[in-house]
Amino acid sequence: MKKILFLLFLFNIQCDAQTLSLVFNDSTSSFIENVSPHVLEIVYTSPMHGSKFHNNNRCIILRNDFEIDIQTITDNYEFSIIGGLSGAHQFDISLAQDSKTILLHPVVDFYFGETVEVLTSKKENLEVVFDLVFTIKSSHISPIVTDIDGFFKPSVVPDYEIIINNNPSPLNLFFYLHGTPQKPVNIVNNVGQLIFSEFWLYEGWDWKVNQNNHLSYFDTEFMSWLMMDNFHQVVDTISCVNGYMADKHDFMALENGNYLLLAYDHQIIDLSSVVSGGSSNANVEGLIIQELDQEHNLLFEWRSWDHFSITDNTHLDLTSNSINLIHGNAIDIDFDNNLLISSRNFDEITKIDRLTGDVIWRWGGSQNQFELINDYPFSQQHSIKSLGDNKYLLFDNGNYSAQYIGAENISRALIYELDTISFSATKVWEFTHPDLLFGTSMGSVQMLPNSNVLINWGNIYLSSEFGAVVTEVDTASNEIVFELRTNSGQYIYRAQKFDWFFDDSIVGCMDDSAYNYNSDYIIQNYSCIYNVFSCVQNDAPLFLPEGWSLFGYTCMNSIDLDLAFEEIRDSVIIVKDNLGSAYLPDWDFNGIGVLDFSDGYQIKLNNSIEGFQFCPIQSLTNDLVDNTDVCSLVDVDLDLNEGWNMIGYYCVEPQNVSDALFQINDEVIIVKDYMGSVYLPEWHFNGIGELIHGFGYQIKLDQSITGLNLCPFFSIQE
C-alpha cells in the first residue's frame, strides 16, 4: 500500500518555475523497489529556482518534507555550489531546529552579477537529485527613505578607489565613513565591491562584528551600544549604569554574554594646589570601565580617579578651565584575562587586574615602567590589541614623533613584545606608509587570521591631500596587498575585516496550527503563539496622573462619559478622542458620546487619581483548562487610518510593543505614550518597552490597515 501511495505522489509532482521537483534518472518502478528511507523530498528552497537579484552574502536553504538528521544528510548526499564568476565555493552545512531545513552557508561571498548553481547528488551513484540556479544582484544600494521628521536620507554610495588589490585576506571590510555630507556604514568585499551601505542618522560609530558574532555600533542620540544579528534585527541595547553615559570609542560584547564599556566622567576639581596657576574650578575628564553581564547587571567598575594623577598628563595645559585629561579610546582583554586600556592623552597603555581593579603595569607616557628596545616612544596611540604571549599590536598616531626622527610627524603600525620580568618593551615589527602618512587622530590596526595587518590611517586629511586610507600589509614581506582610499575631507575612525554577512532568510513561526503562523517563514524561531487560555478574574486599576495623559478604554460595553467618570468628575478638566471631539464636564458638554472598547483617549486632570477603574475585567493565562464555558474569546480586529490614531491597549498581560505590532511593523512610523517615549521600528528603537493594560497610545501609520489584533487570546466572562 505504501508503494502505491508513493507512486501516486511521483505521478503528481509538478515541475515549473515556482515548484522545485525531484528529478529521477531511474525508472519509477525501479526507484520504488529500491527506495531508501534517506531520500530527500525538497518542498521549498531559498532562493527559488531561476530567481534573480539576490544578495551576494546569502546562504542556500533547502527544506525537506520530513525530519532528517544531519548525519544522514552528509552520509548520503553530496552538495556543490558553483558561481559563474567566483567558481566552486566552500560552505558549511547545518540543520535548523525543525530538523527539516538544511542550510548551506558559503564561506566566501558570491560575486555581484553572477549566476550560481547548486547541485545535490547521491553519494552512492553520483545521481543528481536536483539542480538549483539563481542570480546575484549587481550591487547593494540603500533605498531612499524619510524619517518621521522629514529628514531626507539619500542613497549613500561612498566614493572610494581600490589602489592595490593583490590577494588580500578574503574577509569583508567594515567601516563607518565620516565627513561631509553623510556618514554611512559600509561593507566592502575582498575584491573591493561595495556589498552594503546605509546611512543611519545617529547610529554607526565603531561599526564592527564583536566577539559574540553580532554587529555592534554606537547610537550618539541615546549614548548606547546597539547589537544587531545577521537578520538585520537589533537584539540588545547596552548602556552604562551608575549614572554614567557610555562612550563611543570602544565596546566589547564577549562570548560569554558579558559587555565591556568605557565612559568619560567629568568632575569639577580645584587644581590651584596641584599645579602652579591651576584653576580652582577646572572641569577635568576621568575614565570609567564597566563590565555588565548579559542581563545588564554591573559586575566590575574601574575609575581612573582611584589610580591616575592629573599630573600624569605632560602635554595639556593643566591651568586650563577644561582638561581632556585621559581620552580613553580602546579596551581589550589580555592573554591572562586581565584588561588593557589605551589612554591617548597619557600616551599610555595600562594593564588592569580584572578581579581587583589594581593597575598591573603602565607602559608609555610619563609613568612608563618599560625600557624601550630599538624604538622611540609611541604617542597619542589607538587600538591596543593583545596578540598573546606578551605581544601587542597598536596604532601609533605619532603626534610627538618628529622630535625623535628628525622629520615630520609620522604614524606607524607596531608590534611589541613585553618582558614583564626585566620590564623591557622590544619592537618586533613596524610599518610606515610609503607616502609617510600622518593621522593626527583616530586610526586602527587589526591582526587578520592570515597574519596580515589591516591599518586604518585615521584622520589624515589635515596633513595630506588624501581622505581616508585603509591598507592591508603582508607582515612577512611588509608589502601592501590591499589599499582603499576615499575622497579628501573624509575619514574613518576604525576599519576592520570579518568573516560575516547579513542573512536574508525569513525567520518566524512555521507551525500552521499557531496563531502567528506565516507561510513565508523558512526558518523556525519558536515564537509560535497558540490558542490556549483560561478565564481568570483580574481587577486592573489605572493610575491617571495630574495634567495630560492617555488612557485606553478596555470594557467590552460602551459607556457614556458622564457615567464613566462619575466618581472623579470634579478632577476631569477635558477628555478628547482621536477626532478632536471633547468632553468638558464643567460645561456639561459631551461631544464624544460614549467610550468604546480598544479606543484611546487623551485626558487632562487637575489632580492625580490612584486606582481608577472603568470595569472589572477578565485576564488570560497560559494554563489550559477544560471548562471555558464562562469565557468568550475577545477576537478584536482594529481598523486604523493612515496618519495618527489613538488606541487603548486591552490585553491584561504586558507585551513588548514590537511583538504586539509585529503584523504591521512595516506600516508603523511612530508610537508614542503619554510620557513622550517613542517606538521607531525603522530605527530599531524601542523607548516605550511594553504596552500596558489600560494605557492609551498614539500611533502614526504610513497607510491604513485593517484587522489588527493586539491580543487575540484575551478573554472575559459572558
**Whole-number pLDDT of residue 70:** 87
* DSSP code, position 311: G
Residue 669: how many other CB atoms lie within 10 Å? 18
- In whole angstroms, give the CA distance from residue 217 to residue 116: 33
Phi-psi region of 65 (alpha: psi -120 to 50; beta: other; left: phi over 0): alpha
- In whole angstroms, give the CA distance from residue 698 to residue 648: 9
**Whole-number pLDDT of residue 697:** 95
- In whole angstroms, give the CA distance from residue 362 to residue 90: 45
Q: How do beta strands 643-648 and 696-701 pair? A: antiparallel
Q: Which residues lie below 8 Å from residue 608, measured CB to CB, with a gap of 6+?
A: 543, 544, 545, 546
Burial 121-155 (b: 16+ CB within 10 A, else e): bbeeeeeebbebebbbeeebebeeeeeeeeeebee
- In whole angstroms, give the CA distance from residue 296 to residue 299: 9
Domain boundaries, the chain: 2-135, 531-716
Burial 596-623 (b: 16+ CB within 10 A, else e): ebbbbbbbebeeebeebebeebbbbbee
**Whole-number pLDDT of residue 621:** 38
Up-side HSE of residue 131: CA atoms within 13 Å toward CB?
A: 8
CATH code given to domain 2-135: 2.60.40.1220
CA 561 to chain centre: 46
Query: Average pLDDT by consecutive 10-residue portion of the chain (718 residues)?
Result: 37 32 35 49 77 68 82 89 92 78 85 89 87 75 33 52 94 88 82 85 91 94 92 88 91 95 92 93 93 85 92 95 95 97 98 91 98 97 97 98 96 98 97 95 96 95 77 97 89 94 73 70 64 43 89 82 89 92 91 90 92 60 38 63 90 82 88 89 84 91 87 43
**Whole-number pLDDT of residue 470:** 97
Environment class of 361 (CB within 10 Å of its CB; exposed 0-12, middle 13-18, buried 19+) = middle
- Quote the cell numbers at residue 187: 561593507
- In whole angstroms, give the CA distance from residue 492 to residue 441: 10
- In whole angstroms, give the CA distance from residue 581 to residue 604: 14
- In whole angstroms, give the CA distance from residue 72 to residue 127: 17
CA distances for 429 relative to 69, 129, 369, 426, 494, angstroms? 49, 53, 21, 9, 21
**Whole-number pLDDT of residue 369:** 98
- In whole angstroms, give the CA distance from residue 54 to residue 137: 5
User: Which pTM was predicted?
Assistant: 0.55
Phi-psi region of 700 (alpha: psi -120 to 50; beta: other; left: phi over 0): beta
- Quote the cell numbers at residue 492: 574613518
Phi-psi region of 436 (alpha: psi -120 to 50; beta: other; left: phi over 0): left
